[in-house]
């Protein structure tokens, strides 16, 4: 933990000590008063000494009273990318409330995730450890809640802790005074939610309404009514949106209907000049968006009122498309799918931005904003048509990067921007440092507090390790690990023994691998050495998964039997 400490500033024994949160600890070993009494014993002198002692005690008490540990609100979304946040890119949507965090605080331009998929990212944030150490390497795993987590450490230090919204770690949340979380992935409308706390058994409650708004209302209710005003708090305010399949709120069902969203340059990518996995995935807009994604089917689970609003918005648009689909070219169909998909995604983001604004307004109105660190981020980035894709998983830039915005009045300079390489691995260490809690040695990230203060340590990381495990699995993205320094990136698809190297300065869209190109042989050697160093540093074991050897079609006993049976039927 990086902690600034004032040296002992003693005046006849009076001293104070300052923690990184900017206040003074009332339990400081130095909060003593020990004035020598070798003075004239006259009545006047006694009164002067008494007055001075009283002044010192009152001043010290005032410092302690004003130095409350900061509150922490961690705002988290699912699958939100920089391309859909106007502090980073204003070509598709304006997000005024997210931008407000950036304008009043700091924007990070190189926040990388360790494993670009929902559950593993959340486990990293709970533990401050890579997936191979926290035990949650892919969706479908169950998080071991008995292990050390930052909420447990904050609670032990006197914080009141809560998580509201999406949890997605299968096990019951631990280390929280209060939790109210979606069951599993959770739907966009009328979600069942599990409620409980440290001592209580989780209970399942059904709700009616739009999930983003329900999560917002629950967060505000906890802040207004249920938190202990005498304690600092840490709230994880976590949304399902904008996760697939992107169902907008009633008030935004037709928003953007009159707009055309810009297409990314690589929408029609042919996946040449890269390793084979890029062409073998199952996450293209062209082929893999289904009728539910495209709203050509009406979702289930809606109330009569919700269904009426939904059909009024989508049925006319769907009729128009279906009437001309057969006469459209393949390119035109892809373009239509892109517009439908991206607009629904942006509509979901719009509701999240509204919810963030409501919480930020509450902090201002209640006088809490000045002593509250607000952080906004997402579990990973996302593809809005880049490479012709939706989803995440890859070490390519769009899914490796995640938005990170932080606002902390009096500490973070408004409107500041950091290009340092940071990560979701650093979030728990940051929360602990902000609270003045010692960061355990086995956590693998670093506190961002020095960067918040504009004082990036000289030994801050200049490279980053990534590892994705979920294959075989959804979208068929091959297992891979790699290293990036922000300018170049080396990726190894280790079960295929295929490599990619990208020059991000010359090829920011990662369209052409330069691995083993003559001009890049020395760089390849350097990046390979750095990859090896980081795997040792982070204690990465060899992946025990053994990839199956693909069988050639028409070979083997089953194929021979089918051939014989087919021949026999034909003979009949």
pLDDT in tens, 114-154: 999 999 999 999 999 999 999 999 999 999 999 999 999 99
Q: How far is 101 from 206, CA to CA, in rounded Å?
A: 32
Q: Supply the pLDDT for residue 447.
A: 98
Residue 185 CA neighbour count, 13 Å, CB half: 13
Instruction: Tell me the per-residue pLDDT of 46-93, one tens digit each, with 9 for 90 and over.
Output: 555 555 555 555 444 444 434 689 999 999 999 999 999 999 999 999
What residue spans of 140-207 are helical by DSSP H? 150-156
Give the C-alpha separation, 165 to 216, whole Å: 8
- Rg of the chain on CA atoms, in Å: 28
- Confidence bin at 401 (pLDDT 50/70/90): very high
pLDDT at position 315 over 50: yes
Strands (E), 510-562: none
Q: What is the pLDDT of residues 501-515, one digit of tens each?
A: 999 999 999 999 999
* Average per-residue pLDDT for the chain: 88
Residue 14 has pLDDT above 90, yes or no: no
Residue bearing tokens 């390790």: 465
Q: What would the two tokens of residue 361 be?
A: 């307004």
Helices (H), 189-293: 211-221, 277-280
Q: Retrieve residue 26's tokens.
A: 């009332």
Q: Report residue 257 as tokens.
A: 């209907």
Strands 178-182 and 480-484: unpaired
Determine if the peptide bond prior to 125 is cis (ω within 30°).
no
Predicted local confidence at residue 68, as pLDDT: 84
| Half-sphere exposure of residue 91: CA atoms within 13 angstroms, side-chain side | 9
pLDDT digits (tens, 9 = 90+) for 100-116: 999 999 999 999 999 99
Cα(190)–Cα(68) distance, rounded to whole angstroms?
39
Per-residue confidence (pLDDT) for residue 67, from 0 to 100: 60
Instruction: Give percent of the chain above pLDDT 90.
Output: 82
pLDDT at 347 (0 to 100): 98
The pTM for the full model equals 0.86
* Tokens found for residue 378: 């997402």
One DSSP character per residue, 391-435 reads S--SSSHHHHB--EEEE-TTTSPTTEEE-S-EEGGGHHHHHHHHT
Distance CA 466, CA 500 (A): 14
Segment holding 52, helix H or strand E:
helix 43-66
- pLDDT of 561 higher than 50: no
- Residues 238/359, Cβ–Cβ less than 8 Å: no
Tell me what the mean pLDDT of segment 298-327 comes to: 98
Name, in order, each residue with C-beta under 8 angstroms of 29's C-beta and a sequence gap of 6 or more.
Answer: 17
- Residue 133 to residue 297: CA distance in whole angstroms: 42
Q: Is the pLDDT of residue 358 over 50?
A: yes
Alpha carbon of 207 to those of 163, 190, 348: distances in Å?
A: 18, 5, 19
pLDDT of residue 34: 41
For residue 440, the 8-state DSSP code is P
Cα distance from N-terminal residue to C-terminal residue, the chain: 80
| pLDDT tens digits, 413-453 | 999 999 999 999 999 999 999 999 999 999 999 999 999 99
Distance in angstroms (rounded) separating the CA atoms of residues 519 and 511: 17
Contacts (Cβ under 8 Å, ≥6 apart) of 399: 81, 113, 116, 380, 381, 382, 383, 391, 392, 393
């Amino acid at each position: 933990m990086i902690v600034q400490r004032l040296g002992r500033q003693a005046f006849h024994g009076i001293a104070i000590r300052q923690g990184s949160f900017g206040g003074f600890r009332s339990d400081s070993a130095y909060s003593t008063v020990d004035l020598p009494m070798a003075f004239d014993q006259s009545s006047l002198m006694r009164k002067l000494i008494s007055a001075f002692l009283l002044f010192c005690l009152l001043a010290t008490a005032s410092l302690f009273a004003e130095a409350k540990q900061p509150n922490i609100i961690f705002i988290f979304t699912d699958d939100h990318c920089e391309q859909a946040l106007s502090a980073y890119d204003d070509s598709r949507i304006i997000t005024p409330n997210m931008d407000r965090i950036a304008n009043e605080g700091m924007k990070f331009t190189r926040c990388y995730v360790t494993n670009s998929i929902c559950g593993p990212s959340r486990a990293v944030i709970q533990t401050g450890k890579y997936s191979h150490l926290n035990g949650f390497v892919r969706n479908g795993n169950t998080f071991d809640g008995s292990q050390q987590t930052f909420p447990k450490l904050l609670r032990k230090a006197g914080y009141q802790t809560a998580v509201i919204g999406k949890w997605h770690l299968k096990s019951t949340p631990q280390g929280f005074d209060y939790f109210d979380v979606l069951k599993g992935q959770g739907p966009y409308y009328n979600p069942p939610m599990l409620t409980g706390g440290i001592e209580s058994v989780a209970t399942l409650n059904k709700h009616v309404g739009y999930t983003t708004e329900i999560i917002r209302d629950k967060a505000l209710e906890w802040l207004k009514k249920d938190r202990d005003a005498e304690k600092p708090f840490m709230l994880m305010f976590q949304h399902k949106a904008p996760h697939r399949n992107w169902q907008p709120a009633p008030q935004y069902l037709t928003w953007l209907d009159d707009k055309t969203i810009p297409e990314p340059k690589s929408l029609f990518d042919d996946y040449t000049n890269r390793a084979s996995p890029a062409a073998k995935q199952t996450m293209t807009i062209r082929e893999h968006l289904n009728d539910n994604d495209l709203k050509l089917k009406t979702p289930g689970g809606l109330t009569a009122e919700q269904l009426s609003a939904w059909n009024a918005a989508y049925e006319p648009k769907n009729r128009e498309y279906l009437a001309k689909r057969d006469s459209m070219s393949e390119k035109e169909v892809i373009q239509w799918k892109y517009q439908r998909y991206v607009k629904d995604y942006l509509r979901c983001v719009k509701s999240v931005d509204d919810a963030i604004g409501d919480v930020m307004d509450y902090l201002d109105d209640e006088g809490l904003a000045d002593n509250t660190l607000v952080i906004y981020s997402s579990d990973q980035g996302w593809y809005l048509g880049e490479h012709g894709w939706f989803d995440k998983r890859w070490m390519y830039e769009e899914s490796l990067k995640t938005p990170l915005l932080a606002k902390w009045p009096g500490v973070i300079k408004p409107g500041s921007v950091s290009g340092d390489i940071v990560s979701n691995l650093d979030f728990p260490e940051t929360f602990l440092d902000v609270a003045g809690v010692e960061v355990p040695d086995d956590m693998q990230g670093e506190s961002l507090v020095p960067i918040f203060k504009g004082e990036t340590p000289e030994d801050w990381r200049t490279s980053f390790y990534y590892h994705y495990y979920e294959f075989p699995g959804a979208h068929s993205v091959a297992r891979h690990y790699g290293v990036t320094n922000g300018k170049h990136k080396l990726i190894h698809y280790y079960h295929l023994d295929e490599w990619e190297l990208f020059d991000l300065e010359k090829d920011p869209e990662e369209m052409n691998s330069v691995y083993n190109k003559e001009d890049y042989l020395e760089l390849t050697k350097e990046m390979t050495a750095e990859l090896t160093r980081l795997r040792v540093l982070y204690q990465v074991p060899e992946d025990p998964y053994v990839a199956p050897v693909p069988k050639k079609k028409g070979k083997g006993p089953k194929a021979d039997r089918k051939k014989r049976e087919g021949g026999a039927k034909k003979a009949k």
